[in-house]
């Protein structure tokens, strides 16, 4: 069954060959974006499968979380410890432009697939390694998923401190996706440099580095200046539901009183706490009196204040901009229907991008990939399967 659109004319990364050894999120997300940009991304999956194959709704044998991060890729399933696996991987590396992995730093070298070994096979190879604490450092041995990095980089502390809530994790894996996107930038920069030098290189991305580098609030903590920042954005209840208003309350109050005619209920004799309470009560009443989103938009636009509907993510397809820009699209669900998946965010003036099909089954493209990349025959692939190097399926569900 052909599941990936092989026509990539007009895609920026047409012809780029990628071996994706990664699992879960930080590596697979980078591979997914490369596939959306036209690269031939081949996921190299172990026989026991990516752990995300047990997360999410199963359709056509493919669970939702795995589908989201691996849509548009092809898949070969290799037991890296089997006799003959090393030679097969080296053959694939000779043809590859890029290799992505996100094991702990000691794993690939222990298997014989560290960068020093791979560059002897293909000096032009660009290898992207993503790990929690990087390849060099006192904690490089530590396993890390996004919540571990959220804790170590102070995000959980800041969330609890500013929100007055117990310590708890974030509702998305930002440490993974930040590392993935920074890895993607580094990888593409290395491809550009390779065009000038002819040589590849190894990119070491630590999730902790990427999270710190992308944290626009960290300077308040580093400089002990939390009190110099703006007041936090607040959520207000309106007749249409909750909205977040992106404005310091002091500025919001000034605009509401000077431009929209809200009367100040306070007097000069009142203490500060009383003034704040009464003014907040006045704003609460004003917001509750806005009956629908048209009134909200007109009032906020008249004072040039940004606002956002506090939306249930289950309704994301009806968000006006997401709907208009096709941020969520339907792809083949491999069971006679379709399923939703997020679209590539890249919009080019003179190029094409976008998800090119559903996620693959384990080992689904063993013959197809080895035939195209290496010229292997059906007999060759059958032999590798009999000897335990290659595996396939079964589907889930």
**What are the distances in angstroms from CA 68 to CA 54, 348, 358, 375?**
13, 22, 8, 31
- Whether 176 is a known active-site residue: answer yes
Q: How far apart are CA 243 and CA 305, in angstroms?
A: 12
Q: How far apart are CA 280 and CA 169, in angstroms?
A: 30
Question: Residue 123's CB: how many other CB atoms inside 10 A?
Answer: 12
Q: Which one from 20, 176, 204, 209 is the annotated catalytic residue?
A: 176
Cβ pair 325, 317 in contact under 8 A:
no
Cβ pair 195, 125 in contact under 8 A:
no
Q: How far apart are CA 68 and CA 36, in angstroms?
A: 12
Q: Mind spelling out the 3-state secondary structure of the chain?
A: CCCCCCCCCCCCCCCCEEEECCCCCHHHHHHHHHHHCCCEEEEEECCCCCHHHHCCCEECCEEHHHHHHHCCCEEEEECCCCCCHHHHHHHHHHHCCEEEECCCCCHHHHHCCCHHHHHHHCCCCEEEEEECCCCCCCCCCCCCCHHHHHHHCCHHHHHHHHHCCCCCCCCCCHHHHHHHHHHHHHHHHHHHHHHHHCCCEEEEEEHHHHHHHCCCCHHHHHCCCHHHCCCCCEEEEECCEEEEEECCHHHHHHHHHHHCCCCCCCCCCCCHHHHHHHHHHHHHHHHHCCCCHHHHHHHHHHCCCEEEECCCHHHHHHCHHHHHHCCEEEEECCCCCEEEEECCCCCCCCCCCCCCCCCCCCCCCHHHHHHHHHCCCHHHHHHHHHCCCEECCCCCC
Q: How far apart are CA 52 and CA 65, in angstroms?
A: 6
Active site residues: 176
């Amino acid at each position: 069954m052909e599941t990936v659109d092989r026509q990539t004319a007009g895609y920026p990364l047409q012809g780029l060959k990628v071996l994706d050894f990664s699992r879960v999120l930080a590596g697979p997300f980078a591979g997914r974006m490369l596939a959306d940009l036209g690269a031939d991304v081949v996921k190299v999956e172990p026989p026991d499968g990516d752990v995300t194959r047990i997360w999410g709704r199963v359709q056509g044998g493919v669970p939702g979380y795995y589908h989201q991060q691996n849509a548009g890729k092809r898949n070969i399933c290799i037991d890296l410890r089997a006799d003959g696996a090393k030679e097969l991987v080296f053959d694939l590396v000779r043809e590859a432009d890029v290799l992505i992995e996100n094991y702990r730093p000691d794993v690939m070298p222990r298997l014989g697939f560290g960068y020093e070994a791979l560059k002897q096979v293909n000096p032009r190879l660009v290898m992207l390694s993503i790990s929690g604490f990087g390849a060099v450092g006192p904690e490089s041995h530590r396993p890390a998923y996004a919540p571990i990095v959220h804790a170590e980089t102070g995000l959980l502390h800041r969330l609890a401190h500013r929100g007055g809530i117990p310590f708890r994790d974030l509702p998305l894996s930002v440490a993974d996706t930040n590392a993935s996107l920074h890895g993607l930038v580094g990888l593409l920069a290395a491809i550009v440099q390779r065009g000038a030098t002819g040589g590849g290189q190894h990119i070491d991305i630590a999730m902790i580095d990427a999270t710190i580098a992308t944290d626009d609030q960290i300077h308040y903590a580093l400089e002990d200046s939390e009190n110099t920042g703006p007041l936090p954005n607040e959520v207000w209840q309106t007749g249409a539901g909750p909205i977040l208003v992106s404005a310091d309350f002091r500025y919001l109050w000034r605009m509401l009183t000077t431009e929209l005619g809200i009367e100040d209920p306070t007097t000069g004799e009142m203490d500060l706490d009383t003034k704040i309470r009464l003014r907040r009560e006045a704003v609460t009443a004003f917001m509750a009196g806005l009956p629908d989103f048209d009134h909200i938009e007109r009032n906020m636009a008249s004072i040039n204040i940004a606002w956002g509907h506090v939306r249930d993510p289950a309704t994301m397809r009806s968000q006006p901009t997401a709907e208009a820009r096709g941020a969520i699209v339907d792809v083949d669900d491999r069971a006679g229907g379709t399923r939703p998946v997020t679209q590539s965010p890249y919009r080019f003036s003179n190029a094409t991008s976008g998800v090119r099909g559903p996620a693959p089954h384990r080992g689904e493209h063993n013959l197809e990939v080895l035939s195209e990349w290496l010229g292997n025959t059906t007999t060759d692939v059958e032999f590798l399967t009999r000897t335990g190097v290659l595996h396939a399926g079964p589907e889930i569900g």
